[in-house]
Amino acid sequence: MSWQPLEQLVAQIDDGARVAIPPDYSGVAMAATFALLSRGVRDLHLVAVPQAGLQADLLIGAGCVKIMEAAGVSLGEIGLAPRFREWAQQGRLQMMDATCPAIQSGLQAAEKGIPFMPIRGILGSDLVALRDQWQVIDNPYGEDDPILLVPAIRPDVALFHAPLADSRGNVWVGVRRELMLMAHASATTLVTVEENYDGDLLADPVYAAGTIPHFYITGTSLAPGGMRPLGFFGDGSVTDSEHLIRYEKLARSEEGFFQYLEEQKIQLAGVNQ
């Protein structure tokens, strides 16, 4: 394994792929997302781990997303995610509404190679009826004790931005271990990286504790600033609120959304409008 150009990295995401993406506070691969938009990827099944924001809204607005699996989609304190909202309201998006721990448990089931995971709570939520694959069984270790089962979630691709990687492909994520869970659970893991780590991350016991070993990583691209305009746990940078406020305003209409893309110099290939 070694570093590869960003275009080569995103070329490994096929149309129709099930792609796991992290929440806005946990290393979103925005540069890779812009590259995907330019490529005109189609029919993605996005799995938000467990929620999504700008990244999902952009991909939805550009017609790249078929299925949205998430516990929540919003722009956080900026407000609702306008393209998500409109597409969902118009029924143009196959929604798989979830709750955060159900997505975590589904990924953990995939990580453990088991078909399902039991989970407490959730019963009585309308989510249960919506989700065909969620089953309620009687707890074999209890009496008259219904418990929910959620199936394993096995993404084709995990895509995220990380602070450090070394030339062997080891990737440091620190306490953001949902990224490690995504890598364990996914068939392919693609990572854009803020900075090269000169050495072997696994050889240092303090760095090793927050490192995803290279044998889970399919490809890494050096992409400094690859999370912008979102904030990043890696360098402590915060989200560019003004950027998001402007996006939220423009993207309330389809015209405004495409104006935003133009302003960002994102050329869409074959927009499916």
224: partner contacted, choices other proteins, a second copy, none (Cβ within 5-8 A by kind): none
Q: Which is nearer to other proteins, 28 or 41 (CB)?
A: 28
In the bound complex, what is the minimum distance in angstroms from residue 194's beta carbon to a second copy? 13
Could you tell me which stretch among 28-36, 109-117, 222-230, 255-263 binds other proteins (CB under 8 A)?
109-117
Q: In the window 128-167, what residues touch a second copy (CB under 8 A)?
A: 133, 135, 137, 139-142, 145, 147, 149, 151
| Binding of other proteins by 49 (CB under 8 A) | yes
Cα first-last separation, the chain: 38
Least distance (Å) between residue 42 CB and a second copy? 29
Nearest CA among 131, 195, 139, 187 for reference residue 165 = 195
The answer to whether residues 32 and 64 touch, using CB atoms and an 8 Å cutoff, is: no
**135-138/146-151 β-pairing:** antiparallel
Q: Taking CB under 8 A as the rule, does residue 3 contact a second copy?
A: no
**Comparison of 69 and 248: residue with beta carbon closer to a second copy:** 69
Check residue 42 for interaction with other proteins (CB under 8 A): no
- Under the binding rule (CB under 8 A), the answer on residue 118 touching a second copy is yes
Helices marked H in 90-201: 100-111, 126-130, 178-185
Choose from a second copy, other proteins, none: what does 23 bind? Cβ within 5-8 Å by kind: other proteins
Q: Which residues pair with 80 in a beta bridge?
A: 74
